Amino acid sequence: MCLAKRAMVGVIGSWVLLCPAGLVFGQGGRANSVPKGAKVTAPDPANRNLDEHSRFAYDVVRSAVALPQGEAQDRLRVLAAAAKVIAPIRPALAKTYSREGLRVEQELIERGEEPVTSMLSAGPVDCSAVQRMLERVPPPRVSAAEPTLVAAVGACEGVTLTVQRLIEAGLEQRSFAPRATLAVMEKVGVSSAWSREKFAKVFAELPKDAEKSKAEAPALATLYAQAASGVEHDAAKASGVELLLWLGKLEDGGDRRVAVNVLTEAMKMALGEKDYEEALASDVAARQVAESAGAEGEITRPVEESASVLLAMQSATEDRAQELERLPNSQRAREAAASGFASGSGGDKKLAARYFDLAFQAVNAVWSERATRQDAAEVVSEVCEAAAQVDAVDALRRARGLEDSAAQAIGMIAVARVVGGSVGR
């Protein structure tokens, strides 16, 4: 592999430039001389003290971040991925990416869009920048900001009071954030005056359009279960009944069933069997909902997929291309990448290349569905990581050949993660 040549690696346009060896890898992946008249940038002095693998990762991540993204959510995906990989190599650069990512995150929240990820989960953050971002969250956008609020409470000690105020302002406008509310309660204590007051208020002012908010049902039930033991007995009883009535407005489904099961068990524990029965006796509709407890249900979430590397290794010498062609895009991408890794590790580079051709074609299809697929970036990363385990330079070439620049960047960062030895995702 070219790393063995101890060459400095940088990405320029669609070329992978190796300096000072004077070689480039074009779209075909073959070594060529630097094109005549091509502009070659000077080595970055910041990477002089890095070993060859870290230097490769550093240069590739910087090149990936430099690619343009047309959508804010895509830019956030790229910056979050880059910050995780670069943090162990250049912590200061990770903070630079974090600051830009926080600005993007803030803009999304202000537009009422829930960020697909949070920079607060991507490595070191500047808590003063986080504080400034939170101060600009409009109360009607608290629901959209919930993942950011939860992450902020865990990452920065000094922002809890700001998050408390946001939750209070959001409740006034029925912009609910049950997970963030629970995170703050656990931080300040479920028996604190703030927690007791907000517990009662959350369940007294549940979303009017219950069906529209049905995905929040398990989170609301979990909030009750975690905090009910710390509030007054009468508040726990009244709030439990309120939530049962609200759940009764939902159509039957996994979220409703899970919430009812969690809530009824939590009410029994918090109230005791006698007072639980008294609470149900006070409202016939609440009892009817409670009586549906025990039905099997699952929280609504995308179907999880996985590819068996062991199975791929067992059939490493077999050509499974036709079999894989029949799979859905994401499963085809993962399975083909696993088979490519198995064949490549076994020395059959030609068969591995065929599998990776199939995997990267499927990745383009998956990425085009990212508006409705939460795992699109994960699929891109998994495929590029598998390819990088076989041949990092070829994987980098393939990543740069993806159709969308954001997918290119995420793929390049995945290759850098493998070569740089970073375990962060």
pLDDT in tens, 81-97: 999 999 999 999 999 99
Which pair of structure tokens corresponds to residue 260?
A: 């009812």
Q: In a 10 Å sphere around its CB, with 0-12 CB exposed, 13-18 middle and 19+ buried, how is residue 31 labelled?
A: middle
Report which of residues 299 and 103 the model is more confident about. Answer: 103
d(CA 242, CA 228): 13
Tokens for 149, please give them: 């609020």
Residue 235 token pair: 């508040």
- At 422 the pLDDT is 45
Q: Which helix (H) or strand (E) holds 14?
A: none
Percent of the chain with pLDDT over 70: 82
pLDDT (0 to 100) of residue 317: 52
Give 234: exposed, middle or buried? Use CB within 10 Å, 0-12, 13-18, 19+. exposed
**CA–CA distance, 21 with 5 (Å, rounded to integer):** 8
Residue 126 pLDDT: 86
Q: What's residue 49's pLDDT?
A: 79
Residue 423 pLDDT greater than 70, yes or no: no
Q: Residue 304: which residues within 8 A CB-CB, separation 6 or more?
A: none
408's enclosing H/E stretch is helix 405-420
pLDDT for res 325:
82
| Of residues 93, 118, 9, the one with CA closest to residue 55 | 9
Mean pLDDT of the chain: 84
Average confidence (pLDDT) over 384-399: 96
DSSP, collapsed to helix, strand or coil, labels residue 423 as coil
**How many secondary structure helices (H) and strands (E) does the chain include?**
19, 4
pTM (global) more than 0.85: no
Tokens found for residue 268: 């029994």
Q: How far apart are the first and last CA of the chain?
A: 25
Domain boundaries, the chain: 2-63, 193-301, 309-420
